[in-house]
A and B are shown apart, each in its own frame.
Chain A
Amino acid sequence: MSYRSPDTETAGMEAAAGHGHADPAQAREAATLGLWTFLATEVLLFGGLFTAYVVYRIRYPRMFHEGHLKLDRVLGSVNTLILICSSLTVALGIVAIRRGKVRHLRRYLVLTILLAAGFLGIKVVEYSDKFAHGIHPGTDIFFSLYFMLTGLHGLHVIAGMVVLGAVAVLAGRGMFSEGYHTPVELSGLYWHFVDLVWIYLFPLLYLVG
């Protein structure tokens, strides 16, 4: 990768219009590495909360048992299913654009965003049910953790929807093709991460007693 002739470098510079990178392959490599690095920071961000979870679960096993009984396992399971489906639709979208099918891509992206909205809708139902029962952040450590973890995850879901929406708009403008679709792949990668966090949250909060 480091062995390019100076000529291609300058040519690539002009092609990339001030974008620093010599050629599309290099730009793609950089963007992919950048996103993985970003995901590492996200893991560490959630890592703080997971650490707090471990500390307090060991200290207050009974509080965690009683707390988790108050969570709605059915809604939680439905939401898990919804997010897994949304990961599938994003993956199908990426498969579509690799074959150059822009319209299919857009359809899958819209479907993913709708699923994400469904997830958030159910989350709102759950939250308001908790508030109605007088449960809120600060009720006890378990529910503080519950609201912090699911709240932070919810913000990531919203961010993911914005990103996927932006990609869908760009796709509508014909920006992506068989040859160039790095942003689609990377936004998909981000969405899988958001999904994966929930895969951990669901058992930790709803199932572990």
Chain B
Amino acid sequence: MREEAGGNRGYLEKKGFWSWAATHDHKRIGVMYLCTTLFFFLIGGIFALLLRIKLLYPGQEIFSAYVYNVLFTLHGSVMIFLFIIPAIPSGLGNFFIPLQLGARDVAFPRINLMSYWVFVAGILVILASLLRPMDTGWTFYTPLSAKTAADVTLLSFGIFLVGMSSILTGLNFIVTIHTMRAPGMSWHRMPLFLWSMYATSIIQVVATPVVGITFLLLAMERLFGIGFFDPTKGGDPILFQHFFWFYSHPVVYVMILPAMGIISEVIPVFSRKPIFGYKAIAYSSVAIALFGFFVWGHHMFVSGMSATAAIIFSLLTYSVAVPTAIKVFNWIATLYRGSITFEAPMLYALTFIFLFVVGGLTGMFLGALGTDVHLHDTYFIVAHFHYTMMGGTVMGLLSGLHFWFPKITGRRLSEKLARIGWALIFVGFNVTFFVQFILGFEGMPRRYAEYPDRFQSLNVVSTVGSWLLAVGILVMFWNFIRGLTRGSPAPANPWGGLTLDWATASPPSTENFEEIPTVSDWPYGYRKKEGGR
């Protein structure tokens, strides 16, 4: 690697396996998380492409229904547990929380390292369970998951470990944000990314133990037949769904909140305007975290639930839309009359807003008791979920990756390649998933290997879209690899951001800052600093 721009390699200076594997540096741990999770993003993507290829044909061509079941289970499990939950919090969060706080590290660096290795141990256990692969879908509903021949017990244990890692990371972040803020950084001077990470961490800490006990009970069900979820023993499979969604609904906010945090950082930087409604955005993160705990029932409207419970859950579900809409309106108000430039991070941020609004509004259809009965378990759900998770979280992550790549690596990406990648991803994503709304409306159920012939043409469109999307992702990764080896050296603050992560070198030194900065203002005072337009 060539030494450039004063030869500053910062925290990347030391080389060798142990300098990474045993590091206490939050930045290196963050990078390890990013590499691991992005690797599983590609693996999960390959599963998705195979699924789409299968769905070119309505019958059981290409591979059997069993293989199809295994593939969609793996796609969901890998993407959710190994990519989308940890990617932003554990990856970018680890790297940027201490930097934006003006701290030298997280509160518990050793627990941070342990958390990474517990995550890796969980991955290994999950991989071991592939000898008898899971075929129940990522939701593990009983009684199927209690009876299938797949190695659910081992898989449960693996997910338990991954959850433990998630808890430790969340705990670390909460304590870090409480105790390690730079002098002068009051709560209301914190970057919004930190607010969203704080809310995320609270969900991780409170919700994850519940899925831990759920999977423990599932394993015990298989080992000892404890009967909690087995109707023949007086148990109730619906209870499993309640347990599962008590975790898995809040956890969708673990996925989306950090992405919203990134958007709240990127939008003002590329609009050269102070963020509009700082407090509203900050508190809406916390509100989403709180409301998110009381809406899990909307996954179970057709599972068997009293009308009263269903109405309450539906009402609460709509209430989550309020803090979410507050964010969207504030981002748009920030854009209004800004000096907008369209570099790659901004393109992805705007894509986030556009796609996430589509995902959010289609969520309204599903929160309504009447329409949900029609749309439940159809491709409409698949499309809605991917618009929020891929159109939302992944676009936020990609925005963040392009935004912070110079800071993490000390090198710049090719803007041209980044734009080509973005365009392919944007078009490919919409072609893939928009038609699935239509398929769902027309009644195509999800999770079946076969479908009626009349759905074939739209499925072909969707599959072709998935190829476009894949090419876009490959172009983007090619750009990352190219940037790592051949990118031009990045200045400390390539985008003119005002948060503390831009106040140190690119890449930062191991200590982050030569001297801990003192904060006297919020990090969004763009006009004031630049003398206005």
- Interface positions of A (Cβ within 8 A of B): 1-6, 9-10, 13, 18-21, 26, 29-30, 33-34, 37-38, 40-42, 44-49, 51-52, 55-56, 59-60, 63, 136-138, 140-141, 144, 147-148, 152
Contacts and interface: CB of A to CB of B under 8 A. Distances in A.
B487 to A, nearest CB: 31
A144 B171 contact: no
Contact of A137 (B104, B179, B224, B243): B224
Given A41-B171, A44-B206, A148 B107 contact: no
Given A5-B183, A137-B220, A138-B224, A20 B210 contact: no
A62 B365 CA distance: 43
B280 interface: no
Interface of B: 24, 103-109, 167, 171-172, 174-176, 178-186, 205-210, 212-214, 216-217, 220, 224-228, 233-236, 239, 243, 511, 515-516, 518
Pick the most buried of A34, A59, A147, A152: most chain B CB atoms within 10 A of its CB: A34
Given A18-B109, A52-B228, A34 B208 contact: no
B209 A42 contact: yes
B290 to A, nearest CB: 15
Nearest to A1: B179
B18 to A, nearest CB: 16
Contact of B227 (A40, A46, A55, A140): A140
A49 B183 contact: no
A35 B527 CA distance: 43
Given A20-B180, A40-B206, A141-B233, A30 B227 contact: no
A148 B225 CA distance: 12
A1 B177 CA distance: 12
A26 B179 contact: yes
B178 A33 contact: yes
Contacts of B239: 52, 55
B205 A40 contact: yes
Contacts of B516: 6, 9-10
Contacts of A1: 179
Nearest to B515: A6
Contact of A20 (B105, B167, B174): B105
B104 to A, nearest CB: 6
Contact of B212 (A5, A6, A45, A136): A45
B183 A34 contact: no
Contacts of B184: 2-3
A29 to B, nearest CB: 6
Contact of A29 (B109, B172, B179): B179
Contacts of B186: 2
A48 B212 CA distance: 9
Question: Which of A2, A60, A63, A138 gathers most chain B CB within 10 Å?
Answer: A2
Contacts of A2: 181-186
A60 to B, nearest CB: 7
A33 B174 contact: yes
A136 B224 contact: yes
Given A30-B108, A63-B234, 16 more contacts: A2-B181, A10-B515, A20-B180, A21-B107, A30-B180, A33-B178, A37-B174, A41-B206, A44-B207, A48-B217, A55-B236, A137-B220, A138-B226, A141-B228, A144-B227, A148-B217
Contacts of B106: 20
20 contacts: A1-B179, A18-B24, A20-B103, A20-B104, A20-B108, A30-B107, A30-B175, A44-B206, A45-B212, A46-B213, A47-B213, A48-B217, A49-B213, A52-B228, A55-B236, A55-B239, A137-B226, A141-B228, A144-B226, A148-B217
A31 to B, nearest CB: 8
B397 to A, nearest CB: 26
Contacts of B236: 55
A63 to B, nearest CB: 8
A41 B167 contact: yes
Contacts of A30: 107-108, 175-176, 178-180
A34 B209 contact: no
Nearest to B239: A55
A141 B220 CA distance: 13
- Name the 9 nearest CB pairs between A and B, nearest first: A48-B213, A144-B226, A44-B209, A45-B209, A20-B105, A138-B225, A137-B224, A30-B179, A30-B107
Nearest to B180: A20
A64 to B, nearest CB: 12
Nearest to A141: B234
A4 B183 contact: yes
Nearest to B511: A13
A59 B234 CA distance: 9
Nearest to B98: A20
Contacts of B176: 30
A34 B114 CA distance: 15
A38 B111 CA distance: 12
A5 to B, nearest CB: 7
B234 A34 contact: no
B226 to A, nearest CB: 4
Most buried by B among A1, A41, A49, A51: A41
